[in-house]
Amino acid sequence: MILSDLNEEQQKAVQHGAGPLLIVAGAGTGKTTVITERVAWLIEQGMAQADEILALTFTDKAAGEMEERLDKLLPYGYVDLWVMTFHSFCERMLKNHALDIGVPNDFKLLNQTEQWLLVRENLDKFNLDYYRPLGNPTKFIHALLKHFSRCKDEEIWPADYLEYAAGLKIDLDKMESTGGKGKNKKESEVDESEIKRLEEVANAYHIYQQLLLDNEALDFGDLINYTLKLFKERPNILKFYQHKFKYILVDEFQDTNWAQYELVKLLASPKNNLTVVGDDDQSIFAFRGASMSNILHFKEDYPKSVEVFINKNYRSRQNILDMAYNFIQLNNPERLEVKLGNEKLNKKLASQHKGKGIIEHLHAADEGEEVAAVVNKIIQLKNEDSYASWNDFAILVRANNQAEAFLNGLSYAGVPFNFVAAKGLYAKEVVRDVLAYLKLLDNYHESLALWRILNLDMVKIKVEDLMELTRFAQRKTYSLYEAINQIGTLKNISADTSKKVAYILKKIKEHTALAREKSIKEVVLKFLNDFKYNEYLLAKNDEKSFSYLRSFLKKIEQFEKTNNEKNAANFMQLVELELESGEQGDLPKDVEEGPEAVKVMTVHGAKGLEFNYVFVVNLVDKRFPSIERGELIELPDALVKEIVPQGDIHLQEERRLFYVAMTRAKRGLWFSSAENYGGKTRKKLSRFLYEIGLEKSKIKNQKSKISPKPEIKNFDVKYKLPTVFSYSQLKAFETCPYQYYLAYILKIPVRGKAVFSYGKTMHSALQKFMAMIKQSAGSKQERLFASDNREQLAGSVKNKLPPVEELIHLYKESWIDDWYESKKQKEDYKKQGEKSLRGFYQQIKDKLPEVLALEQGFNFKLDQYTIRGVIDRIDKLGDKVELIDYKTGRAKTEKSIEKDQLLIYQMAAKDVFGFEVENLTYYYLDDNSAVSFLGSERDLAKIKEKILKLIAGILSADWQAVATQHNCQYCDFNEICKYREL
CATH 3.40.50.300-classified regions of the chain: 8-100+223-310, 315-421+591-630+638-714
Q: Can you say which residues are annotated as belonging to the binding site for ATP?
A: 25-32
Please tell me the distance from the alpha carbon of residue 552 to that of residue 308, in angstroms, as a whole number: 45
Contact 128, 119 (CB under 8 A): no
Q: How confident is the model at residue 574 (pLDDT cuts 50, 70, 90)?
A: confident
**Complete DSSP assignment for 847-902:** S---EEEEEEEEEEEETTEEEEEEEEEEEEETTEEEEEEEESS----TTTS--HHH
Q: Which helix (H) or strand (E) holds 608?
A: none
Q: Rounded to 5 degrees, what are φ and ψ at 613? A: -125, 125
Strands 350-351 and 611-616: unpaired
Strands 665-676 and 851-862: unpaired
Longest dimension (CA), the chain: 98
Query: According to the model, what pLDDT value does residue 941 have?
Result: 95
Cα 347-348-352 angle, rounded to 5 deg? 120
Of 3.90.320, 3.40.50, 2.60.40, 1.10.287, the CATH number of 754-955 is 3.90.320
Strands annotated E in 252-379: 274-278, 306-310, 312-313, 350-351, 358-366
CATH 3.90.320-classified regions of the chain: 754-955
Contact 191, 172 (CB under 8 A): yes
Q: Can you say which residues are annotated as belonging to the binding site?
A: 25-32
Contacts of 607 (CB under 8 A, 6+ apart): 282, 284, 660
Query: According to the model, what pLDDT value does residue 323 have?
Result: 96
Question: Would you call 598 helix, strand, or coil by DSSP?
Answer: strand
Query: According to the model, what pLDDT value does residue 172 have?
Result: 64
Average pLDDT score over residue span 954-968: 89
Average pLDDT score over residue span 902-920: 93
- Summarised one tens digit per residue, pLDDT across range 843-881 is 998 889 999 999 998 988 888 889 999 999 999 999 999
The larger pLDDT score, comparing residue 345 to residue 446, is at: 446
Please tell me the distance from the alpha carbon of residue 326 to that of residue 345, in angstroms, as a whole number: 16
Task: Give the other-Cβ count within 10 Å of 926's Cβ.
Answer: 16
Query: According to the model, what pLDDT value does residue 785 have?
Result: 46
Q: Which of 100-104, 136-140, 248-252, 455-459 has the lowest mean pLDDT?
A: 136-140
Query: According to the model, what pLDDT value does residue 969 have?
Result: 87
Contacts of 65 (CB under 8 A, 6+ apart): 32
- Summarised one tens digit per residue, pLDDT across range 358-391 is 999 999 989 999 999 999 999 999 999 888 999 9
Query: According to the model, what pLDDT value does residue 674 have?
Result: 92
| Strand partners of residue 250 | 56, 276
Q: Which helix (H) or strand (E) holds 250?
A: strand 247-250
Question: Would you call 653 helix, strand, or coil by DSSP?
Answer: helix
The CATH architecture to which 315-421+591-630+638-714 belongs is 3-Layer(aba) Sandwich (3.40)
Strands 21-25 and 274-278: parallel
Query: According to the model, what pLDDT value does residue 697 have?
Result: 56
Q: Where are the alpha helices (DSSP H) in 234-305?
A: 235-244, 258-268, 293-301
Contact 156, 639 (CB under 8 A): yes
Q: Rounded to 5 degrees, what are φ and ψ at 673? A: -155, 170
Query: According to the model, what pLDDT value does residue 730 have?
Result: 94
Average pLDDT score over residue span 187-203: 75
Please tell me the distance from the alpha carbon of residue 35 to that of residue 50, in angstroms, as a whole number: 14
Average pLDDT score over residue span 121-127: 88
- Summarised one tens digit per residue, pLDDT across range 628-668 is 777 778 888 888 877 776 778 889 999 999 999 999 999 99
Query: How far, CA to CA in Å, does 194 sit from each of 167, 189, 190, 199?
Result: 13, 9, 6, 9
Q: What is the DSSP letter of 485?
A: T
Q: Which of 113-127, 136-150, 884-898 has the lowest mean pLDDT?
A: 884-898
HEC string for 509-569: HHHHHHHHHCCHHHHHHHHHHHCCHHHHHHHCCCHHHHHHHHHHHHHHHHHHHHCCCCCHH
Please tell me the distance from the alpha carbon of residue 151 to that of residue 635, in angstroms, as a whole number: 7
Query: According to the model, what pLDDT value does residue 174 have?
Result: 63
Determine what percent of the chain is predicted with pLDDT higher than 90. Answer: 53
| Phi-psi map region of 701: left, alpha, beta (phi>0 left; psi -120 to 50 alpha) | left
Residue 778 has pLDDT above 70, yes or no: no
**Complete DSSP assignment for 445-469:** T-HHHHHHHHT-TTT---HHHHHHH
- Name the residue among 793, 767, 951 with its Cα closest to residue 868: 951
Q: What superfamily would CATH give domain 8-100+223-310? A: P-loop containing nucleotide triphosphate hydrolases (3.40.50.300)
CA dihedral of residues 870, 876, 879, 884 (deg, nearest 10): -40
| Strand partners of residue 217 | 108
Contact 247, 53 (CB under 8 A): yes
Cα 675-677-681 angle, rounded to 5 deg? 65
Please tell me the distance from the alpha carbon of residue 528 to that of residue 421, in angstroms, as a whole number: 25
Query: According to the model, what pLDDT value does residue 179 have?
Result: 54
CATH 1.10.486.10-classified regions of the chain: 425-581
- Summarised one tens digit per residue, pLDDT across range 33-71 is 999 999 999 998 999 998 899 999 988 888 888 888 888
| CATH class, range 425-581 | mainly alpha
Contact 789, 79 (CB under 8 A): no
Axis-axis angle for helices 543-562, 568-581 (nearest 10): 110
| Strand partners of residue 247 | 53
Query: According to the model, what pLDDT value does residue 559 have?
Result: 86
**At 213, which amino acid appears?**
L
Please tell me the distance from the alpha carbon of residue 781 to that of residue 778, in angstroms, as a whole number: 10
- Summarised one tens digit per residue, pLDDT across range 695-742 is 655 554 456 677 665 555 555 556 778 888 999 999 999 999 999 999
Contacts of 765 (CB under 8 A, 6+ apart): 807, 810, 811, 813, 814, 833, 837
Average pLDDT score over residue span 227-249: 95
Query: According to the model, what pLDDT value does residue 190 have?
Result: 43
Tell me whether residue 637 is exposed, middle or buried, using C-beta atoms within 10 angstroms of its C-beta: 0 to 12, 13 to 18, 19 or more. Answer: exposed
